């Protein structure tokens, strides 16, 4: 090649380099105080991917990343496989060391922090025999996840994991008493946490009470803060579950104050203080109320408005239910006066009428267990015995009382179970061997038996507890048909708005039908919210936080405290 050609070639190369430098500069220019930087820097900023946005910058990690010469993914895969091998051999120190190496290479891979933290706190800790060693590994898992929040400050998921570990693993494990004691006495943990709090701002703080539930609460609150800022970061988790953790922790904190005290005194002995307990329950109630009133997006698509999600709150169920009840009360108010004076009496009258006009013998026989089930009016959970069955029971008891009165007066009475005339036809001699008035319970029982197959009837008459083991299956089979009919019978006795409307006529009925349509619309929201209330145990918690502040509960706590003091 000639010198001239070589020269031209060099000039061409230099020119190409100069030309390519410009797009390189446009792409790779870093962000500065006075400028947003090149395209890559701007995209990084938009997507919150730059190291400074995500969290603390780790020089050691950066050095390691450079040392892999771009094969970071390969290195991480190899290290991960190695960590699985160490785990198989229960070499947990090596698992931790390998996990540390992985997180240096991939500090923004949330799953590593989440998964390994959980693995140490749950899997590794369970492997050890000494509960103190198990506690150490739980704390190690927690601190591992907490370290992850340093490099991923905006990740709600990691805050949730840290909060979960410190709350649940310490608070509901089999060793919870021991773990809570060790947590309170853990000076090293406290020292480390205070150092972290001095170094970083806006991180969850270890409460002075050194309670794991409160500490977990702080992490949950941090998760909520970042979730609201980012609008994402918890995947497909139901928002009501997500927001429910903090108030539940408050409830657990108040619960445990009574069990193992409100912190430690100077001699490291637990302190029991009823005033503190009551305050804790008050705070729990406030937190629960705030949570119940919070309207959030669910993850269920709104079919009436595609692209959006249904919104609800726990208290929405109560609001809609109150509205539905009001509409139902208006329908009942329009019912004829002969059914009764109060709404309750009208409902009961309708149930009674349907009992002996709508239900057939099989259905009445199927309701035997419900009607006879002993219930207590003061029991707050009366759901076990339906309103219908209770109403029937009340009427049937009244029937017996009426028959007794009639018998004393010498009058004949017709009852739903059959006319009492049959008794009056008996001779004096025959009357002596029989009951002076008809017992509806035994009649209902006989009716029930009449629907059991003949060959099983004798077994069916045996009380359940006295049925031999080998006949249990046959015994259950004897009532198979009756059990099938019971559902139908219960629904026929239900006093729904439709049933109420059937007792009205003309305009009143038309108005009732309008109200029923409104009730159905409200029911959709009500049942949707009811689903979440059931998931979160809202009914129970609402009662709990109120009950624990009652004078009776406070008195009981004081009584226990005094007993404890006397015992010590």
Partner 1 sequence: MIIENPIPPYLEWIGMAALNWLISVGALAALFSLIALVFLTIRKGPKQAVPAFVGGVRGALEDLFKFSWRRAFAIASLAIRESIRKKVVVVCVVFLALLMFAGWFLDPSGKDPARLCASFVYQSTTYLVLLLAIFLSALSLPADFKTKTIYTIVTKPVRSSEIVLGRIIGLATVGTAILALMAVCSYFFVSNTLNHKHVLVDGEDVKAVEGVAEDWSTLAPETVVASGETRLANGHKHKVEVFADGTARVVEENKHAHTIERIVEDDKTLYKVGSAVGALQAKTPVYGKIKFRGENGFEKERGINVGEEWEYRSYVAGSTEEAVIWTFDNITPERFPEGLPVEMTISAFRTHMGNIEKTVMGALYVRNPKTGLTAETNVFNSEKYATKALFVEREIDQEKNKVRVRTLKKTGDESTFDPVLTTADLKQTGEKYDLFEDFVVDGKLEIWLQCLDSQQYFGAAEPDLYLRAQDANVFANFFKGYLGLWQQMVILISFGVLFSAFLSGPVAMAATFGILIAGFSKNFFVEIARLEALGGGPIESFNRLVTHENMMSDLSNTFATQLIKAFDAVSGVFLSVIGLALPSFSDYNFYADCVANGYDVPWNAVAVHMTTTASFAIPLFVVGYAILRNREVAK
Residues that bind partner 1 (CB under 8 A): 59-60, 63, 88-90, 92-93, 96-97, 100-101, 104, 127-131, 133, 174-175, 178, 188, 191
CA dist., res. 525 & res. 321, Å (int): 9
> CB 74 → partner 1: shortest distance, Å?
12
Nearer to partner 1, 195 or 361 (CB): 195
Distance separating alpha carbons of residues 160 and 242, to the nearest angstrom: 9
Q: State in angstroms the smallest separation of the CB of 181 from partner 1.
A: 10
* Nearest approach, Cβ of residue 168 and partner 1 (Å): 18
Q: Are 247 and 314 in contact (CB under 8 A)?
A: no
H or E segment and range at residue 11: helix 3-28
C-alpha 131 chain-centroid distance: 30
CA–chain centroid gap for 517, Å, is: 31
92 vs 485, which CB is nearer to partner 1?
Answer: 92
| Closer residue to partner 1 (CB): 178 or 298 | 178
Closest to partner 1 by CB, 31 vs 97, is 97
- Residue 367 has phi, psi (to 5 degrees) of -85, 5
Beta carbon nearer to partner 1, 130 or 470: 130
Report in angstroms how near the CB of residue 290 gets to partner 1 at its nearest.
37
Nearest approach, Cβ of 105 to partner 1 (angstroms)? 12
- Give the number of other Cβ atoms within 10 Å of residue 192's Cβ: 15
CB of 174 to partner 1, least distance (A): 5
Q: Considering the complex, what minimum distance in angstroms separates the CB of residue 59 from partner 1?
A: 7
Q: Which residues contact 141 (CB under 8 A, 6 or more apart)?
A: 116, 117, 118, 119, 120, 121, 122, 124, 125, 165, 169
Query: What DSSP assignment string belongs to 385-423?
Result: S-HHHHHHHHHHHHHHHHHHHHHHHT---EETTEETHHH
What are the start-end ranges of the H helices in 152-202?
Answer: 156-164, 170-171, 176-185, 187-199
Taking the least distance from each CB to partner 1, the nearer of 127 and 462 is: 127
Nearer to partner 1, 100 or 298 (CB): 100
CA distance 284 to 247: 6
Residue 521 has which token pair?
């619309």
Do 405 and 415 contact (CB within 8 A), yes or no?
Answer: no
Q: What's the closest the beta carbon of residue 79 comes to partner 1, in angstroms?
A: 12
105 versus 327: smaller Cβ distance to partner 1 = 105
Q: How far apart are CA 556 and CA 548, in angstroms?
A: 10
Min dist. Cβ of residue 250 to partner 1 (A)? 27
Residue 316: both structure tokens together: 């929405």
The CA distance from 445 to 368, in Å, is 7
CB of 68 to partner 1, least distance (A): 12
Nearer to partner 1, 96 or 389 (CB): 96
Rounded to whole angstroms, how far apart are CA atoms 207 and 210? 5
Q: Which residue has the tokens 């706190």?
A: 121
- For residue 29, give the 3-state DSSP assignment: coil
Q: Smaller CB distance to partner 1: residue 125 or 317?
A: 125
Which residue number, 256 or 532, has a Cβ lying nearer to partner 1? 256
Query: Which of 174, 454 has the CB closer to partner 1?
Result: 174
Q: Which residues contact 467 (CB under 8 A, 6 or more apart)?
A: 459, 475
Nearest approach, Cβ of residue 129 and partner 1 (Å): 4
Nearest distance, CB of residue 136 and partner 1, angstroms: 9
Number of C-beta neighbours around residue 430 at 10 A:
10
Handedness of CA 75, 76, 81, 86 (dihedral sign): positive
CB 561 within 8 A of CB 274: yes
Q: Are the C-beta atoms of residues 114 and 158 closer than 8 Å to each other?
A: yes
- Residue closer to partner 1 (CB basis): 175 or 289: 175
State the minimum distance, in angstroms, from the CB of residue 75 to partner 1.
Answer: 12
């Amino acid at each position: 090649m000639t010198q001239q050609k070589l020269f031209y070639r060099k000039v061409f190369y230099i020119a190409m380099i100069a030309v390519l430098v410009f797009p390189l500069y446009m792409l790779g220019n870093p962000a500065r105080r006075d400028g947003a930087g090149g395209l890559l820097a701007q995209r990084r900023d938009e997507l919150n991917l730059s190291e400074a946005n995500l969290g603390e910058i780790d020089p050691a990690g950066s050095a390691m990343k450079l040392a892999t010469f771009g094969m970071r993914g390969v290195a991480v895969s190899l290290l991960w496989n190695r960590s699985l091998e160490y785990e198989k051999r229960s070499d947990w120190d090596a698992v931790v060391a390998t996990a540390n190496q992985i997180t240096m290479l991939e500090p923004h891979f949330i799953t590593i922090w989440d998964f390994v933290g959980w693995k140490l706190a749950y899997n590794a800790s369970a492997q050890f025999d000494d509960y103190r060693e198990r506690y150490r590994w739980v704390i190690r898992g927690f601190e591992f996840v907490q370290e992850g929040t340093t490099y991923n400050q905006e990740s709600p998921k990691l805050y949730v994991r840290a909060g979960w570990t410190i709350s649940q693993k310490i608070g509901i494990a089999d060793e919870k008493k021991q773990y809570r004691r060790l947590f309170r006495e853990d000076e090293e943990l406290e020292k480390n946490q205070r150092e972290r709090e001095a170094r970083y701002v806006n991180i969850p703080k270890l409460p002075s009470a050194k309670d794991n539930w409160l500490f977990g609460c702080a992490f949950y609150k941090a998760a909520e803060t970042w979730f609201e800022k980012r609008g994402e970061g918890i995947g497909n988790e139901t928002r009501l579950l997500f927001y429910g953790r903090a108030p539940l922790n408050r409830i657990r904190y108040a619960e445990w104050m009574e069990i193992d005290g409100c912190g430690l005194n100077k001699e490291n002995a637990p302190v029991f203080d009823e005033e503190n307990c009551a305050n804790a329950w008050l705070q729990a109630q406030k937190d629960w109320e705030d949570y119940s009133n919070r309207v959030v997006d669910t993850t269920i698509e709104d079919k009436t408005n595609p692209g959006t999600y249904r919104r609800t709150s726990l208290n929405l169920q109560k609001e809609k239910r109150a509205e539905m009840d009001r509409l139902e009360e208006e329908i009942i108010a329009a019912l004829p006066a002969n059914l009764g004076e109060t709404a309750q009496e009208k409902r009961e009258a309708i149930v009674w009428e349907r009992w002996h006009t709508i239900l057939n013998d099989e259905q009445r026989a199927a309701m035997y267990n419900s009607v006879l089930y002993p219930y207590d009016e003061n029991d707050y959970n009366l759901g076990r015995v339906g309103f219908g069955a209770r109403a029937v029971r009340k009427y049937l008891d009244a029937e017996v009382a009426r028959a007794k009165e009639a018998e004393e007066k010498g009058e004949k009475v017709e009852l739903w179970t059959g006319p009492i005339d049959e008794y009056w036809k008996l001779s004096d001699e025959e009357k002596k061997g029989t009951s002076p008035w008809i017992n509806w319970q035994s009649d209902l029982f006989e009716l029930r038996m009449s629907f059991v197959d003949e060959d099983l009837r004798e077994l069916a008459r045996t009380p359940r507890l006295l049925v031999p083991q080998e006949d249990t299956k046959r015994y259950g089979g004897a009532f198979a048909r009756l059990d099938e009919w019971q559902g139908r019978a219960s629904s026929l006795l239900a006093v729904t708005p439709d049933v109420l409307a059937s007792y009205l006529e003309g305009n009143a009925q038309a108005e009732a039908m309008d109200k029923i349509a409104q009730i159905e619309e409200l029911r959709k929201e009500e049942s949707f919210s009811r689903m979440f209330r059931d998931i979160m145990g809202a009914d129970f918690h609402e009662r709990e936080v109120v009950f624990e502040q009652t004078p009776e509960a406070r008195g009981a706590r004081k009584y226990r405290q005094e007993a404890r003091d006397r015992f010590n």
